[in-house]
Every structure is written in structure tokens, then in C-alpha cells.
Amino acid sequence: MAEYKRPQSEQEFDQNFKQKKPLMNQTEAYMESSRCLFCYDAPCVQACPTHIDIPLFIKQIHTGNAEGAARTIYDMNWMGNACGKVCPTQVLCEGACVFNHQHVKPIEIGRLQNYATNKVMEAGKSLFHSGSPKGKKVAIIGAGPAGISCACELSVLGYSVTIFEAKDKPSGLTVYGTAPYKITNEEALTEMEYLQKQLSFKINYSSPVSNADDLQKLEAEFDAIFLGVGNGPTAALHLPGEDFENVIGAVEFVETLRIQKHRVQVPDRIVVIGGGNTAMDAASESARMGASQVYLAYRRSKEQMGAYWFEYDLAVSAGVKSIFNASPLEILGKDKATGVRFIKTTQENGRIKEVPGSEFVLECDLVIKATGQAKMAEFLTQIKGLELDKSNRILVHPETFQTGNPKYFAGGDAVNGGAEVVNGAFEGKQAARGIHQYLLPHSSYDSKS
Amino acid sequence: MTDLSINFAGIKAPNPFWLASAPPTNSGYQIMKAFEAGWGGAVWKTLGVPVVNVSSRYGGLNYRDTRMSGFTNIELITDRTLADNLREMEEVKKYFPNHAVIASLMVESRREWQQIIKDVENAGADGIELNFGCPHGMCERGMGSAVGQEPTVLKTIVEWVMEAATVPVITKLTPNISDIEDPGLAAVQGGTNAISLINTIKSIIGIDLDTFSPLPAVDGKGTNGGYCGPAVKPIALNMVRQLAQHPEIAGTPISGIGGIETWRDAVEYILLGCTSVQVCTAVMHYGFGIVREMESGLRQFMEDRGFQTIYDFAGKALPNVLEWKDLNLKHKVVASINADKCIGCQLCYIACEDGAHQAIALPQNGQSRVPEIIDENCVGCNLCSLVCPVEACITMEKRDNGKEQLTWDELVAADAAPVTFNDPRAGGNGHFVPEPTQALKKHAS
Ligand SMILES: Cc1cc2nc3c(=O)[nH]c(=O)nc-3n(C[C@H](O)[C@H](O)[C@H](O)COP(=O)(O)OP(=O)(O)OC[C@H]3O[C@@H](n4cnc5c(N)ncnc54)[C@H](O)[C@@H]3O)c2cc1C
Ligand SMILES: Cc1cc2nc3c(=O)[nH]c(=O)nc-3n(C[C@H](O)[C@H](O)[C@H](O)COP(=O)(O)O)c2cc1C
Ligand code: SF4
Ligand code: SF4
Ligand code: SF4
């Protein structure tokens, strides 16, 4: 168990949030790339949501062709560098690597990927350019992984693209949401700059598309619209005491942390409610900020957590304690939260049952709710014809990502309900191809050259 | 008790591991260090009229993360005076009277040969090695491989040497020749006491892709060098075998050289008839310490099999090396995949599919990635078992009854061998070839 001192400077913050996947040097990349077997119909490729030709780019790295490797990566995934750093590779490419079956360490695909993408970013090497103008305009709402990928792909295909982004930075939750030990702000933003330099899409920052009027204006000006709005703020728990100022949402906590870094002051005792990856992140991050006592509280069992085992292990290794089978009843306090009252739970046929008389109180100075992000239903229902499923996810065609309103396409968290950066990257790119097919049905996909 | 000591054509040494004549034997300092480390003998860096060397001098062939799986040099013989070398040789023999010190020599005239032999004998050399091998620099002056490639000249020089020498003489052969038996026979006819081989192979190890210079580069230019290291072992093993099986050469002690790095390499040479082995590249790569692994491995190998001395197993592989025409055409093996070990890389599939006999099928159920051998198509070529990254996952299973024996000559005698272009008796085991257009139906690989 690690003990973290409260970071007083940016340097100390970086120390506490040391990168889990540091950049490889040339020798490391050479040695690691030499291990790849170059499998036929490689399982790692199948496991990558964007189907990057992994053995190919590894061989390219090995033969001193890092630029070719980067091209192989970006050809399939516009968030190539971010993905290398933030993807849960243990359950994706690296989890599928055949070496696992031999109890040999799988190839470090993510870090090799970063090796190649960093080489071209450092050199400022342009790999792509905007296609010859097609005379069509597309609006994209949201500059997250889905929106950016859609914009890049459309630019290459020759579309005039404008992104409307509510915040003042691109990359969405890559910079505002993922844990700081996975990717630094600089890394996330450098890749965005790198893409923007090569491709002609525009981003209008601090430009939320908020209401029916805004939407109507876009519909009038643009030939198609892509929704890459992601999910909303942390959903309400509907618990007494939830309104205290020291009861906050995990997504908001992480966002503040990413921007304010060491200037964020966490109190000593923190309770994080939830069992997903966001809960693990928030707990890990609280401990790394120097809180002396961080509890994770989840209403079901350890095995039932939505979080990946390695994210849980990481939280535990940062000093986080956990309580399972405990449901929050009430947040205690007068003008500030001073604790959370829980009741123990059991399960019958998957349904949670409270155990009478098993109530207990966890005292704390901060409550972080990591109980899922609200969906954007209120905004989305203003779009005519758009269909949402029961969980308020946008329904789309599985290949073109076209919505119930033919002019609108969508991808990323708003469609998949909340997955990973890599899924956003894939869906944004696919949607761009869907838009291309919709706007210019007779042209070919292959305009990259 | 296992005894590693040898008596090689009269040269005694505590073990068969000798340093080859090369940079590790440049000086008395290095040879003393090597003997301390455990080497049984050393062939002194070739003596003659000292040369002037260039820089750079070496090049390496890397394979994946393995450095120097092949090695090349454009160095010549010693660049130190004879007097210095002789003084140091004397010093070494004083400290190590029971180790083998062999003087490698390369000079031109009969007078020079006979003079230098006296000099090294006076310095205490236990034997002499004639360097007829160096493939660069020296041959242009009519020495080294220029001699080694000319059997009659080689024989004459060996005769000059034998007139003067009182210690055993080893003739070192160059592999840069179409048939190693010619110089081997010439050396024996000239009266040599022993043979050593191989010296380095003429080669260009690589080209610099930026400067277009061959490697190693000397001021942007290069020349052909001498290739050695692990990559040359198979070539050397066969040449050793050819001499060891030759009726007029067999019996002449052979010192095996080329790509030896571990005890396993050494044992292979001994099994093909060598009774001493020499090492250069592996020492240039890792230093003298590697002899500890070689010595311990050899000792273990001998203890496990009850061999007392290396003479108990020297040449034991020779009766098994036949000509192709004498191999048994009735022997049949078929590949077999152990599904429990398979990790699903499917390298065996694509190797057989594109590079061999289309005898491996991909699993059809979508769950497993374990390929299947199509028994009736498998010719038993081994390819899949060679590419499989998992130890003992693909094995070659015997499918004949072990009773039948049929050689090519017998096949011909029985009039069962194909004799015309379109003879239907063509082929061998499992001779299956799909129709060309079926290639278009399989998805691109
Ligand atoms: C705490 C946390 C940790 C995570 N950690 C990881 C991780 O380690 N690895 C990983 O791969 N994934 C991680 N994810 C998930 C990943 O960040 C998301 O899946 C991904 O960012 C989704 O991309 P997106 O483009 O769909 O949405 P977002 O990234 O959410 O981007 C949406 C963008 O749209 C903008 N926007 C929204 N509405 C409007 C509007 N009306 N007008 C204008 N702009 C608007 C938003 O400001 C935002 O910039 C994490 C998520 C969270 C919450
Ligand atoms: C740099 C270098 C210099 C060599 N010099 C000589 C030499 O002077 N005399 C000689 O007989 N062989 C010389 N050789 C050949 C080696 O003795 C040996 O025959 C050859 O390298 C094969 O053995 P290996 O694969 O263990 O290196 C030299 C080899 C190298 C690499
Ligand atoms: S599965 Fe592993 S070894 Fe095979 S190609 Fe992918 S990274 Fe290489
Ligand atoms: S032994 Fe040769 S023919 Fe048989 S399956 Fe293996 S690769 Fe194919
Ligand atoms: S090469 Fe070996 S491990 Fe790979 S699929 Fe074939 S049998 Fe399995």
C-alpha cells in the first residue's frame, strides 16, 4: 500500500500521478517489437475496436520505419496516441495476445503504439491532408474522441467541417475524464494540435449547442450533423443530504483535478460510492492527492463490480479500502456532510435486499458519487425523429451510425452508453463514412492519397 | 571419472576448447587470461610480416533482438612485431606448461616458412597451424586463401613446413572453395599432422542504406570480409563431415571451427569427428568466461551418457550421414498439433498454406484458434513444427510400420521411379495440390 503526500507543486502532482505507460526509448521499442510473433489473422487485431494492423506496425517499428508504423495506426484510429495510453489494453489487444496462453508477458502493444505516434508528433511529420473539397458542410457537436475522429475522417474525404464544443479544450473526456496517470493534459492536447495542423476542420470552442434554435441554425447551414456529445454530469442518487457542497460527482471531481492539479485540496477522509471504473479512478486519485482515508463503497459484491480487476487492484495499491454489499441510505450532516449511513445488503435472484438492523455510519469529509453519468436526453429529444433506447442512448444504424433523423449521425458515449476512448474513435470514423455515403452515395471511400 | 583432456595429433591440452587464431589471441596478456578462465589451448593470432590495419574493421548481422548472429571482419594477420609475439609466447609457456599454445603462421617463401617455424618452436610453441584461410587482404599478396584455394600450392607449402617442423602441424582450410575435399586431401598428402576448419567465408555483411557503403565502412568504402559466428556453423559442420568421411583423410585429427558458442555446438562438432574445437566470435562477443558454460555442459553431457573421454563419442554421428539416395523412402511422418499447448498464433497454418502443402485447416467453430492438420495432405516436411513458437507443441508422428525399407536405387531397380516428364508415379507422401482458382475463393492472406 502506497502512502501519498499531498502534492504542493505541479512536479509533486506529476510524481503522485506518475505515468503508468511511460514512453519507450529506442532500445526498449526494438527489443519489445522483436518479440512479436507476427501471428496470422492476429487475435490482437481482432480485439482492437479500431482493428489496427498491430503486427504490421510492430514490424515497421522493428525495421526502423516508425513513420510507416504511425501511418498504420492513424489509418485506423485518429486517437492513436491517446488510445495507446488510455485504452484498457489488458482486456483489449494485450489481453488477446497469444503470449497470454503461454504465461509469457503479452507484447506491450499500447506503449509500442505510443512510440510510433510520438515519433511523428515530435518530428511534426504530416501524414494526412484534407481531401479535395466536395462542396459539402458538416457540423459536429462535441470535440471528444468521437467528434474529433469524425472530423478528421470527413476532412480527409474533402468535407468542410466545423466542430461546436461547449468547453475550451478538445478531446472531451480524454483530457477532462481519464486518470492523470494514464495520460497528461499535454499529451492529450498535443495529439489534437497535431491532427488540427494537418487537417482543415475548425473547432469553435465555448460554443455549446443548447436548444432547438441552435439546432435549427445548424440544420439550415450544414448538410449533415454528427452528435458526439458524450454523456452528461454525474447522475443524482436521490439521497437525503445529497445537496451538501461537499457531496460531489466523480466526473466533476476528476475534471477539476485534471485542470487544477495540485491546487485541488482534498480533505482527509473520503467516501467514494460506486463500483465502476469511474469509482476506481476517483478513489485512486483521492488517495494520490494525499487523503489519509479513502473508502470505496459498493452495494453489491466485489465480483459484481463493473470495474476492471486491474483498476480495482490499482486503487487498492494506492491505499484505498473497500466495503462491499453496502447501500447508502442517507448523507449525514448539518450544513456539510459529515458521514454516510449505509445498510448492509444481500441478494436474492440478483435483486438487492437490505439486511434489517445492519445500518452503520462511515464518517467522512467528502462524498464522491461515482454512480454513472446522466444521459443527454433533455437536449437530444429536441431533435426531431431522433430515437433513444430505454437507457436514453441514441439509436443508430450499426454500420453507418445514422440516427432516426437521416441528417443526424451519432457515435461515442452518447450511443454506446459510456465505453472507452477507442470506441468513440471507431464510431466517429464509421459515422464519417456513413455521412459520406449519405451525402455522396456514388463516390468511393478511398480518397486518401 | 570424466576426463576432458585431449591429445590432438600429439598436442596435449586439459580440454578440447581452444581459442581460434584471431583478436582474442593477439597477445600473451589475453592468452594468459583465457587459460586462467579455463580454455585448454590457444592458437596464436597469425604471425608473419606484421600488417597495418584499417578502421573500422567489423560488421555484425543482427536477427531481431539477437546481435551478431553473424559477424564479419576485414582484419589481416598480426600487426605486432614477431619479436614481441615470441617473447610473450615464451612467457605464456612458462606459466602454462600443460596448456596448448599453437603458433599460427602465414609467410611466403620456403626460407621464411622454415625460419619462422624455428622461431616459434624456440619460443615453446606446442604446435603450428598453417593459415591458408584468410579470405581478404592476404590472398591478394599470394597468401592465405590464395594458397588454400590452390591444392597443389598448398601441398608444396605443407611439404616445406614438414621438412622443418619438429612439433605437430595443423593445416587450417578455407571454406571459399567448391569442394573442401581437394585442399583437405592436398594437406594430408603434403604430410600434415592435423586439419582445422573452417576459416571465414567471403562475404558482404550489409550495406549502409544512407551512404550506400558496404559494411564495415572505411571512409565510406568497404570490401569483402570474412564471415563467421553462429550463422556459419551449418556450413562448417558439413565440411568437417566431408573430411571425416573421406577414406584418405579419415583418421587425420580435425579441429572444428565455426560458430561455436555453447557446449551443444562443441558436441555436434565432436560427434562429426572433431577432437578439438576452436572459438573466436563468441569470445569476441562475450569474453573468455563463456568457457565455463561450455566445460560444464560437456562434462554433464558425458556423465549423463557414461562417456569417459571425448574419444568415446567422437565421430558417433558419422555413420548416420548418408547420401540422399540411401535414405528410406518408406519412412513417413505426419504433423500433429497438441491442442492443449497451442496458443493460436496460426503461424503453422499460414506457413503450410502459403509456403508448403496446404495441409493445415483453420478451425471452423469460431471459438478455438487451434488449427487442424489435414493428415492426408501432410507430406511430413516439418515446416509447421519449425515455425511453431511453443516448445513441443507440433510433433512429427511416425506413420510407417517401421518394417519397410526402400531407397532410391531400389525404387529405380523396381522400375517404380518416375522417368518421363509426365510420369504418374511423381511425388511422394501425401501429394495434394488444390486447383489454382481455389486460391481466389480463400480470403486474402
Ligand atoms: C472518469 C472517467 C474515466 C475514464 N477513463 C477512461 C480510460 O482510462 N480509458 C478510456 O479509453 N476511456 C475512459 N473513459 C471513457 C472515455 O473518456 C469516453 O468513452 C470517451 O471520451 C467518449 O468520447 P465521446 O466523444 O463520445 O464523448 P466525450 O469525451 O464525453 O466528449 C463529448 C464532448 O462533447 C461536448 N459537448 C457535449 N454536449 C455538447 C453540446 N450540447 N454542445 C457542444 N458541445 C457539447 C463535451 O464538452 C465534450 O467535449 C473514462 C470516462 C470517465 C468519465
Ligand atoms: C576478426 C577476425 C580475425 C581473424 N583472424 C584470423 C587469423 O589471423 N588467422 C586465422 O587463421 N583465422 C583468423 N580468423 C578466423 C577465425 O580463426 C575462425 O576460423 C572463424 O572466425 C570461424 O570461427 P567463429 O565462428 O568461432 O568465429 C579471424 C576471424 C575474425 C573474426
Ligand atoms: S497476438 Fe501478440 S504476438 Fe501475435 S501479432 Fe498480436 S501482439 Fe504480436
Ligand atoms: S509437416 Fe509440412 S505438409 Fe505437414 S502440415 Fe506441417 S507444414 Fe504442412
Ligand atoms: S504454430 Fe503452434 S501455437 Fe501457433 S497455431 Fe500452430 S500449433 Fe498453435
Residues A99 and A61 in one domain: yes
**Catalytic residue positions of B?**
134
Residues A159 and A118 in one domain: no
Residues A71 and A23 in one domain: yes
> Last residue of a domain, which of A89, A123, A157?
A123
Of the candidates A154, A165, A150, which has an alpha carbon nearest to the alpha carbon of residue A427? A150
Residues A115 and A177 in one domain: no
Strands (E) in B328-438, as ranges, are 333-337, 360-361, 372-373, 394-398
Residues from A in contact with B at Cβ < 8 Å: 30-31, 34-35, 37-43, 62, 98-99, 101-102
Residues A22 and A100 in one domain: yes
Is the per-residue pLDDT at A442 higher than 90? no
Do the domain assignments include residue A165? yes
Q: How far is the CA of B69 from the centre of ligand 3 (A)?
A: 24
Task: Tell me the sheet residues that pair with B201.
Answer: B227
Residues A92 and A37 in one domain: yes
* pLDDT tens profile B222-251: 999 999 999 999 999 999 999 999 999 999
Beta-carbon pairs below 8 A across chains A and B: 36
A106: domain CATH number? Answer: 1.10.1060.10
Output the pLDDT for position A227.
Answer: 98
Mutation test residue for ligand 1: of A48, A93, A178, the one with most atoms within 8 Å of CB: A178
Cell for B212?
550506400
Among A98, A103, A104, which would you mutate to test the B interface (most chain B Cβ atoms within 10 Å of its Cβ)?
Answer: A98
What is the C-alpha to C-alpha distance for residues A82 and B143, in angstroms, rounded to an integer? 63
Output the pLDDT for position A448.
Answer: 45
Residues A387 and A424 in one domain: yes
Do the domain assignments include residue A1? no
Q: How far is the CA of B46 from the centre of ligand 2 (A)?
A: 10
**Which band of pLDDT confidence, cut at 50, 70 and 90, is reported for residue A447?**
very low
Read off the pLDDT of each residue in B285-301 and give the average, rounded to a whole number. 97
Instruction: Count the domains in chain A.
Output: 3
**Which band of pLDDT confidence, cut at 50, 70 and 90, is reported for residue B283?**
very high
Residues contacting B84, CB < 8 A, separation 6+ = none
Q: Which domains does chain B have, with CATH numbers?
A: 6-318 (3.20.20.70), 324-444 (3.30.70.20)
Which residue of B lies nearest to A103 if distances are taken between CA atoms?
Answer: B343
Q: Give one word for B10, left, alpha or beta, with left for phi > 0 and alpha for psi -120 to 50.
A: left
Q: What is the ipTM of this complex?
A: 0.84
Cβ neighbours, 10 Å, residue A446: 7
Residues of A in contact with B208 (CB under 8 A): none
> Last residue of a domain, which of A369, A397, A418?
A369
Ligand 1 neighbourhood includes A232 CB (under 6 angstroms): no
A175: domain CATH number? Answer: 3.50.50.60
- What 3-state DSSP class applies to B290? helix
Do the domain assignments include residue A225? yes
Residues of B in contact with A102 (CB under 8 A): 343, 389-390
Do the domain assignments include residue A298? yes
Do the domain assignments include residue A131? no
Could A98 and B344 be called an inter-chain contact, meaning their C-beta atoms sit closer than 8 Å?
yes
Is the per-residue pLDDT at A59 higher than 70? yes
> Last residue of a domain, which of A97, A123, A149?
A123
Residues A324 and A283 in one domain: yes
Do the domain assignments include residue A132? no
Residues A285 and A347 in one domain: yes
Ligand 4 neighbourhood includes B120 CB (under 6 angstroms): no
Residues A205 and A102 in one domain: no
Strands B254-257 vs B194-197: parallel, antiparallel or unpaired: parallel
Residues contacting A144, CB < 8 A, separation 6+ = A171, A172, A173, A174, A228, A229, A230, A412, A413, A424
- What 3-state DSSP class applies to A159? coil
Do the domain assignments include residue A446? no
Do the domain assignments include residue A417? yes
Q: How many helices (H) and strands (E) does chain B have?
A: 14, 18
pTM, full prediction: 0.91
Residues A422 and A380 in one domain: yes
**Which band of pLDDT confidence, cut at 50, 70 and 90, is reported for residue B137?**
low
Q: How far is the CA of B374 from the centre of ligand 4 (A)?
A: 9
Contact A402, A409 (CB under 8 A): yes
Residues A359 and A252 in one domain: yes
Cell for A156?
480527409
Ligand 2 neighbourhood includes B23 CB (under 6 angstroms): yes
What range does the domain containing A408 cover?
137-232+375-439
Verify cis geometry, omega within 30 degrees of 0, for the bond prior to B213: no
